[in-house]
Chain A
Amino acid sequence: MSSKVKNTTEKTPLRRLCAAAVVAVFPLLFTASVQAQDLNEQVTRRIEKMTERTLLFRNDSDRIPQLEYLRPDGTGVVWSAALGDKVVPVAWTASNGDDGKGALCLVFKGADIGMARDLRLCDGLDVVESGIRDARDGDPYDLTSVTRMKVALPQIVNDLAEIDQLLGRD
């Protein structure tokens, strides 16, 4: 997969930690204002719905969940079943994509995820939205203030109520 967004807006079978393109360098973070200048109105609205919220995302095979919290400033955190109990920082960028429907890229530092190289994952917003199983405003699990959760994220999670139960918050 190319690291360029324009080549990643097609529907891919898997995304995020499960559909990766590896890049050699960790790119500079884009500020929200810079991104907003480039994004069309539709994409801007779709992206806004993904920020400052905790999203439960699962890939198309429906096996590998991850929780994401994206800040408007282009940073965020991810708690993935691929990484057990680790919560890792991520940088994100958005673009209009070739089809004008938008694309989202997440970039992980290799050192944070046990890889020699950094990891850049991009998908069209249609794919991203179709993978969102549940969402809640804000950061109810304090993902932004920890580096490890008290438990590993299981491979099967269907909604955030299960996370509540897992963390003893129900």
Chain B
Amino acid sequence: MMKTVLCYGDSLTWGYSAETLGRHAFEDRWTSVLQAALGDGVTVIAEGLNGRTTVYDDHTADCDRNGARILPTTLHSHDPIDLVIIMLGANDMKPVLCGTAFGAVQGMERLVEIVRKHAWSFDTGETPEILIVSPPALCETANAAFASMFSGGVEQSSMLASLYADLADEKGCGFFDAGSVAKTTPLDGVHLDAENTRALGRALEPMVRMMLGV
């Protein structure tokens, strides 16, 4: 039976390239690499939105970046879902929106609750498994705009992995530290170059296979 994986994320999932200021080629995005690795029996849905946060409003944005508000609609759009991969929190590092790792963890916890308590259209009796992926830590950058936008983010984001791991244990979710296989580019301190986004897709395969049973 076909399995469905929803990848719910931000620009790291959308595939933003700090080099071209555009989008990575389709085949370079981690979601595409994961899809290729898993094969035809699995559908990987890339649901990435630039600037998406866990639960925080960005009133400067031209559309809703609040991950908690959009998630229920997205879950309905792709129902039935076997696994939800959530990689969010990088934009929570913006001090104007949240600015702390602790805040991102609270946001991630809310997203887990939303998935678990969602009013699924088809009553299969089972909710999707959840895989929490901590985004790679921000790095120092000479890009003044990003350095300012994410002020303090290098230190705060370095705490995300351990805090998300604890949350995953507490909530019975899978956990993967993207920072263990991918590093952010110093071009803007936030995003992944093509090689690093491909590496993330390859690295996620084993755990996703386990959680899907494929």
- In the complex, whether B148 has a CB less than 8 A from a CB of chain A is no
Assess the A64–B205 pair: CB atoms within 8 A. Answer: yes
| Per-position binary interface string of chain B over residues 80-118, scored 1 when its CB falls under 8 Å from any chain A CB and 0 otherwise | 000000000000000000000000000000000000100
Contacting chain B: which of A13-21, A29-37, A135-143, A160-168? A13-21
Contacting chain B: which of A45-53, A95-103, A110-118? A110-118
Assess the B207–A83 pair: CB atoms within 8 A. Answer: yes
Return chain A residues, CB-CB under 8 Å to B175.
114
| Contacts A114-B168, A155-B202; A22 near B207 (Cβ below 8 A) | no
For B172, the closest partner residue in chain A by CB is: A116
Return chain B residues, CB-CB under 8 Å to A155.
202-203, 205-206
- In the complex, whether B129 has a CB less than 8 A from a CB of chain A is yes
| Contacts A64-B206, A81-B206, A82-B207; A114 near B213 (Cβ below 8 A) | no
Assess the B209–A14 pair: CB atoms within 8 A. Answer: yes
- In the complex, whether B173 has a CB less than 8 A from a CB of chain A is yes
Known: A17-B210, A22-B213, A114-B175. 8 other contacts (CB 8 A): A14-B214, A20-B210, A20-B212, A82-B206, A83-B207, A114-B211, A117-B129, A155-B202
- In the complex, whether B126 has a CB less than 8 A from a CB of chain A is yes
Pick 11 A–B contacts, CB within 8 A, sort by A: A17-B206, A18-B210, A22-B213, A63-B37, A63-B205, A64-B206, A82-B209, A84-B180, A115-B129, A115-B174, A155-B203
Least CB distance, A12 to chain B, in whole angstroms: 10
Assess the A113–B210 pair: CB atoms within 8 A. Answer: yes
Return chain B residues, CB-CB under 8 Å to A84.
176, 180
Least CB distance, B17 to chain A, in whole angstroms: 25
Least CB distance, A4 to chain B, in whole angstroms: 15
Assess the B209–A17 pair: CB atoms within 8 A. Answer: yes
Assess the B205–A152 pair: CB atoms within 8 A. Answer: no
Assess the B127–A116 pair: CB atoms within 8 A. Answer: yes
- In the complex, whether B160 has a CB less than 8 A from a CB of chain A is no
Residues of A within 8 A of B (CB): 1, 14, 17-22, 63-64, 80-84, 110-111, 113-117, 119, 121, 152, 155
- In the complex, whether B131 has a CB less than 8 A from a CB of chain A is yes
Q: How far is the CA of A83 from the CA of B208 in the complex (A)?
A: 10
Least CB distance, A65 to chain B, in whole angstroms: 9
Q: How far is the CA of A1 from the CA of B214 in the complex (A)?
A: 10
For B127, the closest partner residue in chain A by CB is: A116
| Contacts A64-B205, A152-B180; A114 near B126 (Cβ below 8 A) | no
For B203, the closest partner residue in chain A by CB is: A155
Return chain B residues, CB-CB under 8 Å to A116.
116, 127, 129-130, 172-173
Assess the A80–B206 pair: CB atoms within 8 A. Answer: yes
Residue from A1, A113, A121, A152 in contact with B174 in the complex, judged by beta carbons closer than 8 Å: A113
Return chain B residues, CB-CB under 8 Å to A63.
37, 205-206
Q: How far is the CA of A121 from the CA of B209 in the complex (A)?
A: 12
Return chain B residues, CB-CB under 8 Å to A117.
126, 129
| Contacts A81-B206, A115-B174, A155-B202; A19 near B213 (Cβ below 8 A) | yes
For A17, the closest partner residue in chain B by CB is: B210
Q: How far is the CA of A1 from the CA of B202 in the complex (A)?
A: 25
Assess the A80–B213 pair: CB atoms within 8 A. Answer: no
Q: How far is the CA of A110 from the CA of B172 in the complex (A)?
A: 7
* Cβ-closest 5 pairs across A and B: A20-B213, A114-B174, A82-B206, A82-B210, A17-B210
Residue from B129, B131, B176, B209 in contact with A64 in the complex, judged by beta carbons closer than 8 Å: B209
